[in-house]
Structure 1
């Protein structure tokens, strides 16, 4: 999906509203591997919970059960 303005949209939303952008999360997760690292970073950033997810299914359940209670916008960009 290159060239459709994802980065421009992300920058515009950031200027308009107070949102959480996880740019550092992506940089960090690129150094680490896989979806589990991304889930751990999202959970620790939003929930302030440092417990680690052991598999992708557990991460999905935590995000569905606990993160959905917060108003957050998560933008994932390269």
Structure 2
């Protein structure tokens, strides 16, 4: 009896699998573009499954909630356009703490997310901007190995991979908009 039940279960599963619709390539374009679309679709599916890693916060957070609330109002993340907000001031006043708190509060509402820390230092060391671009690609798209070789290539690839997606990118310790 157990054998018949297993066979019936397998038969039902195979029948269901046989009726699934797949992707077809009709030769009406480049095969690599077709494969890129499949990879992008699967990446989108995985992005919906995974939760962001929340960042560590300091124990003492006096006055943080009101500042975060104000920043969230400014960001208005319900919109579909690009938002860019800068937090500036002298060192040690809590800019990074506010940025982390905002990231923790809203990252789950995005298709992809990345918190780039120590950008000023990272942009001149460890491969510079190309390394930062590879970190963004890895974090947001899930690209494991470094595939960006120069800044211009990285800009094009990031734009292509992130277009039509709602992305949260927090860039900490920046001293230039370039």
Q: TM-score, normalised by structure 1?
A: 0.69
Does structure 1 conserve the Cα–Cα contact (< 8 Å) formed by 2:148 and 2:154? yes
Alignment correspondent of 2:115: 22
CA-to-aligned-CA distance 1:17-46 (integer Å, 9 cap, x gap): 2253424x648x836131000011111221
Q: Secondary structure of the residue that 2:170 maps to in structure 1?
A: coil
Segments of structure 1 that go 5 or more residues without pairing to the other structure are none
Alpha-carbon RMSD = 2.8
Query: What is the distance in 1 between the residues matched to 2:127 and 2:99?
Result: 24
Alignment correspondent of 2:129: 35
Larger Rg: 2
Which stretch shifts more, 36-45 or 62-71? 62-71
Q: Indicate the structure with greater helix content.
A: 1
Q: TM-score, normalised by structure 2?
A: 0.35
The structure whose RCO (Cα within 8 Å, separation 6+) is larger is: 1
Q: Indicate the structure with greater strand content.
A: 2
